């Protein structure tokens, strides 16, 4: 994702890539040396929170695509951004089609409360369920008339991981970049909403949009759908 982002930024006349930060590099030094306005983070769940704090502390604006931040960590980052009137964006998925999928799933959950999610990713993906699946479940859980398909305490691994009253099934296989299917069950009918990323280039329009939009913000925004 980092290499794909570097190539995508190079094509944008109004955006200037001032530095690349690799493992072992001094991020704070690079931000200060190059006077970076925005830092795009595609690291890992193990370091993303500390990286985000470091970016904010150095008055740059983080655009984070790394999964693994907890709700508590996101709230802490929101407070730090608000205190500095600094923009930030955390996006579980930068695909515009994926954001639309989540929005349509939220709307459908109002009328079809029985729903499960199947998400597919490449085997190198560290987290399961994906951030996109978790975000989708969260959005559907806020829908009116939402009822539980299965209690979270009934944690049967063969039936997926229950989260926000929705079962999430994770698949990790070679040949897959990212795909998610949201299946709703109703009376004698089903509704399926599916999105698939064929390559990592599908995420680049969202990344570029965030790099521009974050400069206009004075707070942290969680979810690409909130800036569309």
User: Could you write out the DSSP letters of every residue in 1-45?
Assistant: -HHHHHHHHTT-TT--------TTS-HHHHHHHHT-SEEEE---T
* pTM for the structure as a whole: 0.81
Pairing mode, strands 38-41 and 61-64: parallel
DSSP string, 127-188: -SS-HHHHHHHHHHHTSTT---SS-TT---GGG-EEETTEEEEEEE-TT-SEEEEEEEEETT
DSSP state of 71: H
For residue 191, the SS3 value is strand
* pLDDT over threshold 70, residue 217: yes
pLDDT at position 157 is: 63
List CB contacts of 149: < 8 A, sequence separation 6 or more: 113, 114, 115, 116, 165, 166, 167
Put residue 160 in one of left, alpha, beta given phi > 0 → left and psi -120 to 50 → alpha. Answer: left
Average confidence (pLDDT) over 40-45: 90
DSSP state of 67: S
Residues classed as catalytic: 121, 125
pLDDT of 168-200, one tens digit each? Answer: 999 999 999 999 999 999 999 999 999 999 999
* pLDDT over threshold 80, residue 147: no
Task: Classify residue 149 as exposed, middle or buried by CB count within 10 Å of its CB (0-12, 13-18, 19+).
Answer: middle
pLDDT of 62-118, one tens digit each? Answer: 999 988 889 899 999 999 999 999 999 999 889 999 999 999 999 999 999 999 999
Angstrom distance (rounded) from CA 56 to CA 43: 16
Which band of pLDDT confidence, cut at 50, 70 and 90, is reported for residue 152?
low
Tokens of 62: 């983080």
Q: Give the relative orientation of helices 96-109 and 204-213 as an angle to the nearest 10 degrees.
A: 90
Task: Classify residue 187 as exposed, middle or buried by CB count within 10 Å of its CB (0-12, 13-18, 19+).
Answer: exposed
**Among candidates 173, 178, 170, which has minimal Cα distance to 123?**
173
- The residue with tokens 């996006």 is 91
Angstrom distance (rounded) from CA 42 to CA 8: 14
Which band of pLDDT confidence, cut at 50, 70 and 90, is reported for residue 154?
low
Q: Domains in the chain, ordered, with CATH?
A: 2-90+201-226 (3.40.50.720), 96-197 (3.30.360.10)
């Amino acid at each position: 994702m980092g290499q794909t982002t570097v190539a995508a930024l190079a094509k944008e006349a109004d955006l200037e890539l001032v530095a690349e930060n690799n493992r072992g590099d001094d991020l704070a030094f690079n931000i200060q040396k190059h006077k970076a306005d925005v830092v795009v983070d595609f690291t890992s769940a193990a370091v993303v929170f500390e990286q985000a704090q470091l970016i904010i502390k150095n008055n740059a604006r983080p655009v984070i695509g790394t999964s693994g931040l907890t709700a508590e960590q996101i709230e802490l980052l929101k407070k730090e951004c608000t205190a500095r009137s600094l923009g930030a964006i955390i996006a579980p998925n930068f695909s515009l089609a994926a954001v639309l999928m989540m929005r349509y799933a939220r709307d459908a959950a109002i009328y079809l409360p029985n729903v499960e999610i199947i998400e597919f990713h490449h085997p190198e993906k560290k987290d399961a369920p994906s951030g996109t699946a978790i975000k989708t479940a969260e959005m559907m859980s806020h829908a009116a008339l939402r009822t539980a398909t299965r209690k979270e305490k009934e944690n049967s691994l063969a039936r997926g991981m229950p989260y926000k009253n929705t079962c999430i099934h994770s698949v990790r296989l070679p040949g897959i970049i990212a795909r998610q299917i949201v299946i709703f069950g109703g009376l004698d009918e089903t509704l399926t909403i599916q999105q698939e990323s064929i390559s990592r280039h599908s995420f680049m329009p969202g990344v570029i949009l965030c790099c521009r939009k974050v400069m206009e913000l004075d707070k942290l925004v969680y979810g690409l759908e909130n800036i569309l």
